[in-house]
Amino acid sequence: MPEHLKSAVPAGQVRAARADVAERVAAILDDIRERGDEAVRQYSEKFDNWSPESFRLSQDDIARIVADVPETVLDDIRFVQQQVRTFAQAQRDSMHDIEIETLPGVRLGHRHVPVSGAGAYVPGGRYPLTASAHMTIVTAKVAGVSRVAACTPPIRGEIPAATVAAMYLAGADEIYLLGGVQAVAALAVGTQTIGRVPMIAGPGNAYVAEAKRQLFGEVGIDLFAGPTEILVVADEHADPFVVAVDLLSQAEHGPDSPAVLVTTSEDLGREVERHIERLLPTMPTRDFAGPAWRDHGEIVVVDSLDEAFTTADSYASEHVEILTENPRQALERMHDYGALFLGEGTCVSYGDKVIGTNHVLPTRGAARYTGGLWAGKYLKTVTYQEVTDTSSSALLGEVCGRAARVELFEGHARSGDVRAAKYAGAALPWNEEAGA
């Protein structure tokens, strides 16, 4: 049985905090539906101390902002976006339109059609998360989305120039300096100055994630992407210092970011904990990483690698790092995760920042039923049908008539009947009863 060397706070305490978030978000959404831009501006002033004449940046604004970004930063943005674009394009190319003939003259097909527009939420607040622009905007454009409206908040009242540059280079059609629930709501329901979109993508804090959850159905969303999670599976061959550094790398995202170690070695688990206790006080981001590790950090010791993989699956964590002697075993043994990071040569931070796979991934157990953001999330797979052979239409009409009447759908049955009658001379007794 798994043994906890360190446990997280009780689940009930976490649920209570989420209930409070849900109530606050619902009130903001209702207010923005009612008052539009006026409410958006009020919340932007309240939460971000930001109330410009226009939240949307003009082309001149964008050009001026990008011109102030160091060329090395722009080069790195271009490099990373090319990695994301290459992988996203390979994903898109794997999705083929199909058409088959199931009976003579009966053609069935499907096509992958991009949504007409998407809202890309790029988190900011404390840190300029430029990478989220790559993940949401580049991927949408590869999928063929014609209108991408991107939002990011100011940082302490300042324009996050590198993030704006990333949004621009990624191909955003509209860029708004607007964050939080008010940004997501404006994109989803529309205001006097911000046109609504059919879909919203991107990660965010607990409030942004809850806003997406409440708006789902009114608009589409990529997935429920809340506070960042990391789970490391390690055996006795792992380097405890590397494990500790990697756990803290994700804990710094926020005070509610879970960081979990599942290991077959109690000695390694205790050594990892000692490293974390030593490293945390010197981290510049310790005010986030510290509470995250204190409240949501776990070290779980198991008896075998099989148990380690089973335990890891039970968390359905967003990021799962495999630091074992044979890391590729996890590809066959695990199935509930957002993304796997195999071996010491890679790390979750690569996925977050540079390697090219998408970092918008399922959290809070959503990995049990969905994967992360990819080109396919921006596509609707729609079907079409065509019957050009009259004999086949007559046959389908006969079967349709019988099948529909089993379900007591007489109108459906008659649609089949008329084709059987027109193309094969079948009787229409219900038409005769109507005096035809």
Alpha helix segments (H runs only) across 316-362: 329-333, 348-353
Answer yes or no: is pLDDT of 9 > 90: no
Q: For residue 295, which phi and psi values (nearest 5 degrees)?
A: -95, -30
Q: In angstroms, rounded to a whole number, what is the distance separating the alpha carbons of residues 340 and 47?
A: 35
CA–CA dist 400, 109 (Å, integer): 20
Neighbours of 113 (CB within 10 A): 14
Q: Which of 174, 210, 271, 318 is catalytic?
A: 318
> Quick one: which of 310, 322, 231, 236 has its CA closest to 271?
236
Does the annotation mark 319 as catalytic? Answer: yes
Q: Is the pLDDT of residue 425 over 90?
A: yes
Two tokens at 58? 């003009």
Q: Are 161 and 69 in contact (CB under 8 A)?
A: yes
Q: How far apart are CA 363 and CA 253, in angstroms?
A: 14
| pLDDT computed for residue 157 by the predictor | 87
The order of strands in the sheet holding 147-152 is 174-177, 147-152, 117-121, 199-201, 220-221
Average pLDDT over all residues of the chain: 95
Residue 304: its H or E element:
none
| C-alpha distance from residue 237 to each of 296, 325, 414 (Å) | 25, 6, 70
Question: Cα(93)–Cα(114) distance, rounded to whole angstroms?
Answer: 14
Residue 110 has pLDDT above 90, yes or no: yes
Mean local confidence (pLDDT), 236-256: 96
Q: What are the DSSP calls for 243-277, one per residue?
A: HHHHHHHHHTT-TT--EEEEES-HHHHHHHHHHHH
Structure tokens at 189: 């329901």
Q: What is the distance between the alpha carbons of residues 240 and 311, in angstroms, rounded to a whole number?
A: 20
pLDDT digits (tens, 9 = 90+) for 389-421: 999 999 999 999 999 999 999 999 999 999 999
What's the CA gap between 383 and 111, in Å, rounded? 6
Q: Helix, strand, or coil here: 327?
A: coil
- Of 180, 169, 77, which is closest to residue 121 (Cα–Cα)? 180
pLDDT at 15 over 80: no
Those residues whose C-beta lies under 8 Å from the C-beta of residue 314, and which sit 6 or more positions away, are: 336
Assign 435 a pLDDT band (cuts: 50, 70, 90).
Answer: confident
Of 134, 275, 296, 319, the active-site residue reads 319
> What is the rounded CA–CA span in Å between residue 218 and residue 212?
10
CB 237 within 8 A of CB 246: no
Q: Tell me if 103 sits within 8 A of 392, measured CB to CB.
A: yes
Q: What is the DSSP secondary-structure string of 71-124?
A: HHHHHHHHHHHHHHHHHHHHHHHT---EEEEEETTEEEEEEEEE-SEEEEE---
Q: What is the per-residue pLDDT across 308-339, written as a single tens digit (0 to 9) for each?
A: 999 999 999 999 999 999 999 999 999 999 99
DSSP bridge pairs for 152: 177
Quick check: is 359 catalytic?
no
H or E element: which one contains 128?
none
The predicted-structure confidence for 260-286, as pLDDT tens digits, reads as follows: 999 999 999 999 999 999 999 999 999
Instruction: Tell me: pLDDT of 355 over 80.
Output: yes
Largest distance between two CA atoms of the chain: 91
Query: Is there a contact between 187 and 197 (Cβ–Cβ < 8 Å)?
Result: yes
Digit-coded pLDDT (tens) for 362-394: 998 999 999 999 999 999 999 999 999 999 999
